[in-house]
Structure 1
Amino acid sequence: MNIVRSRDYTAARAWDALALAVMRDATVRLHWTDQPYPWHVNDGEEVFAVLDGEVAMHYRENGRELVAQLRAGDIFYAAEGDAHSAHPLGQARILVVERAGSA
């Protein structure tokens, strides 16, 4: 058993992660960041839950770039192949569940 207080988590650099669990083929990680993450496409599904802070989630849909403002408690789902880029507004802590081995 393990209890993690996400608001207390910080990292040495943006997007460092605390590995919380590996469950079958998925990883669960707590990320801390204050910098944007580059545009990328995952090789599997991703669940991105904002625990603390705000994130402007840029994503592409039908050839258009859109932005969703995510606040604490909001969850973003990206299917395999969905291009997206997270831009925190200040510091943010994010829980990410994705295929094991994804970057």
Structure 2
Amino acid sequence: MRIVRGKDYTGSRAWEAQLIAAMQDATVRLHWTDQPYPWHVNDGEEVFAVLDGEVTMHYREAGRELAAHLRAGDIFHAAAGDAHSAHPQGQARILVIERAGSV
């Protein structure tokens, strides 16, 4: 057992991650960032939960680019094949659950 104080976690570079757990085919990682993450498409589902800070999540749906403003406590779910890009507003801490080895 361990307790992770998400608000205390700071990486040495943007999107640095602390592995929280690896369960069967999934990983749970705590990310710290102050920089946008490039547009990408995961080969599996992704659950993206903002723990601290704010993030504008850009995503594509039906050929249009949209954006959602996420605050602490908000969760974004991307299905396999959904294009998205996260842009923190200052520093943010995010819990990401995704298929092990996913980009």
Structure 2 length-normalised TM: 0.99
Residue identity in the other structure for 2:40: H
SS in 2 for 1:4: coil
Could you list the runs of 4 or more consecutive aligned residues of structure 1 that deviate by over 2 angstroms after TM superposition?
Answer: none
Show structure 2 runs of 5+ residues with no match: none
Residue identity in the other structure for 1:82: D
Distance of 1:22 and 1:7 partners within structure 2: 21
Show structure 1 runs of 5+ residues with no match: none
Distance of 1:61 and 1:52 partners within structure 2: 26
Distance of 1:2 and 1:37 partners within structure 2: 28
Distance of 1:102 and 1:62 partners within structure 2: 23
1:1-103 equivalences in 2 (<5 Å): 1-103=1-103
Structure 1 length-normalised TM: 0.99
SS in 2 for 1:27: strand
Percent identity between the two aligned chains: 81
Residue identity in the other structure for 1:74: D
